[in-house]
Structure formats: structure tokens, C-alpha cells
């Protein structure tokens, strides 16, 4: 697919915003479902990019920065794979190959993240010096520079992909040895598993474990679609809210406030 100059500029702007939002996390432009959809709107390939974004969103749900470990770069994976999907011109048929390209790109994006964060560490010292001088404008300036570096972290690779085309990028990724791609896949799967484990560890209590068990059992039934599971989840949430409201009035002085999960979150 041939892109116009206006489309190329808009793609780079979307990529820049995705990189910035990876740090600001205000409008969620870095989330795959939003980033890919924006690329689709710019290029006119909305449906394939929306399918790609939704699939990548499910993969990236468990990606999280854990301690000193940095999660795969969902923003770079989304923007780069969406661009390759559009340039490939295969439409919905190219979604599967774009997803296969996205995962190694996400892991490769870790290097760019580390480089930008290393540079940002030096900028912090410059801001400390400006703070000692009481120069608020200089602090704001270096802060904006650091945020812009995050945007360039995604915009520059996006511009390079647009410049060289999807073919060479796809050939480069396909030339990677199997032991490397398999290792990247295992590493990505471990990050997802650890991310979900952290979420469950924070939420898991004796009050909500039955709901977890129901959800896992229902998920093994192949005839239930994702829409069906979503409806069941909403119903279980409503049942839980109804039970917590009744708990405070029917147990007298046993200390049950009717919202055990809310108390746990507040104490946490």
C-alpha cells in the first residue's frame, strides 16, 4: 500500500504520542487497541488494525514493569506491527503475521527503553542542579525534553519502517534463528504469567476466591465465547456487590462492613 505524505506525517505523530503516553499514561495512546486503531484511521485500514490491536491488547494485559525488570514495549509493538500490516496490503489476512512480528519487536524495544531511561537519569541531575539554583523554567524545560525522548523512542523506529518498507523488516525478523525466537516467546510468556500472578496476588482473598474458581472453570468450556464470559463476569460482579450490601445489615456486630474487598483495597 502506498501512503501519502499526510498519512506518513500523521503516523509519525501517532507514534510520538504513543511513546509519550507510555510514560504519562493519561490518554492511553500507548495501549495496543488504541494505537493500532489510530493507525488504521490514518491509513484507511481500520478493520485489520482494530483486529490486530484487540489481539495484541490481550497479549499485553499481563505485561508490567516488575522491580528492575522492564516489560516488553507494547507501544512499539503496536505501532510497528500496524505499520507493517498496512504496508503489506494483505488486510485481515496479514493480521496473524503482524502479530508474530509484534512480539519480537516488543522485546527488541526494551533496548530503546533502557537507552532512553539511561539518558533520562542524566537529565534528572540537570534538573537537580536547576532546582538548587531555583530555576523553575529550566526544570520544566528538561522535563519536557525527557518526555519528548520517550516519544522519539517510538517515532524514530516508525519513521525508519516507513522509509525502508515492510519487506526488509519482515525478512530480517524471519532470518532470526529459531533458538532466539523461541527464547523470546518463552520470555514473553513468563512476563505475562508473572503479570497476571501479581494482579491475582493483590486481589485474592477468601471472599473472592470462589469467583476466580468459577471464572477459570467457565473459561475451559469451548462453547462459551468471550462475549459470553464477559457477560458472566459482569453478572458475578453485580452479585458480589449485592451480597456486600446485604452483609452489613444481617450480621449484627460481627464486624462485617459489607465490603470486604473495599476494606482490603483501602488498607493496601
Mean pLDDT of 31-41: 93
Cα–Cα distance between 55 and 136 in angstroms, integer? 44
**How many helical (H) and strand (E) elements, i.e. helices and strands, does the chain have?**
11, 0
| Residue written as grid cell 490486530 | 52
Q: Which pLDDT belongs to residue 250? A: 42
Please report which confidence band the pLDDT of residue 127 belongs to, taking 50, 70 and 90 as the band edges: very high
Answer whether residue 265 shows pLDDT above 80: no
Half-sphere exposure of 28 (CA within 13 A, CB side): 7
pLDDT at 152 over 50: yes
Question: How much is the pLDDT for 248?
Answer: 47
Mean of all residue pLDDT scores within the chain: 79
**CA–CA separation, 113 and 149 (whole Å):** 10
Q: Could you tell me the three cell numbers for 164?
A: 525502508
Give the model's pLDDT for residue 189.
59
User: Among 137-141, 163-167, 234-238, where is mean pLDDT lowest?
Assistant: 163-167
Query: What is the sign, positive or negative, of the torsion defined by CA atoms of 53, 56, 57, 60?
Result: negative
- Residue 30 is predicted with a pLDDT of 87
Return d(Cα 49, Cα 83) in angstroms, integer.
Answer: 9
pLDDT beyond 80 at 181:
no
Helix, coil or strand: residue 262: helix
Phi–psi pair at 224, nearest 5 degrees: -90, 120
- Please give the average per-residue pLDDT across 78-105, as a whole number: 80
Amino acid at each position: 500500500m502506498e501512503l501519502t505524505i499526510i498519512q506518513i506525517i500523521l503516523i509519525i505523530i501517532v507514534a510520538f504520542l504513543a511513546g509519550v503516553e507510555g510514560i504519562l499514561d493519561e490518554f492511553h495512546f500507548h495501549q495496543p487497541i488504541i494505537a493500532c486503531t489510530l493507525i488504521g484511521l490514518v491509513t484507511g485500514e481500520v478493520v485489520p488494525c482494530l483486529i490486530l490491536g484487540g489481539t495484541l491488547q490481550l497479549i499485553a494485559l499481563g505485561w508490567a514493569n516488575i522491580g528492575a525488570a522492564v516489560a516488553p514495549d507494547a507501544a512499539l509493538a503496536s505501532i510497528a506491527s500496524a505499520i507493517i500490516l498496512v504496508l503489506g496490503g494483505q488486510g485481515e489476512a496479514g493480521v496473524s503475521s503482524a502479530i508474530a512480528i509484534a512480539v519480537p519487536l516488543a522485546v527488541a524495544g526494551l533496548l530503546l527503553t533502557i537507552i532512553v531511561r539511561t539518558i533520562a537519569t542524566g537529565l534528572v541531575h540537570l534538573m537537580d542542579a536547576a532546582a538548587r539554583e531555583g530555576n523553575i523554567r529550566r526544570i520544566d524545560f528538561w522535563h519536557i525534553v525527557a518526555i519528548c525522548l520517550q516519544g522519539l523512542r517510538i517515532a524514530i523506529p516508525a519513521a525508519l519502517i516507513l522509509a525502508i518498507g515492510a519487506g526488509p523488516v519482515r525478512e530480517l525478523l524471519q532470518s532470526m534463528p529459531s533458538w532466539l525466537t523461541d527464547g523470546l516467546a518463552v520470555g514473553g510468556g513468563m512476563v505475562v504469567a508473572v503479570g497476571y500472578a501479581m494482579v491475582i496476588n493483590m486481589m485474592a482473598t477468601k471472599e473472592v476466591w470462589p469467583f476466580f474458581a468459577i471464572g477459570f472453570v467457565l473459561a475451559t468450556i469451548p462453547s462459551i465465547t468471550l462475549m459470553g464470559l464477559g457477560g458472566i463476569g459482569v453478572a458475578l460482579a453485580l452479585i458480589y456487590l449485592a451480597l456486600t450490601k446485604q452483609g452489613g445489615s444481617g450480621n449484627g456486630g460481627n464486624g462485617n462492613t459489607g465490603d470486604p474487598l473495599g476494606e482490603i483495597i483501602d488498607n493496601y
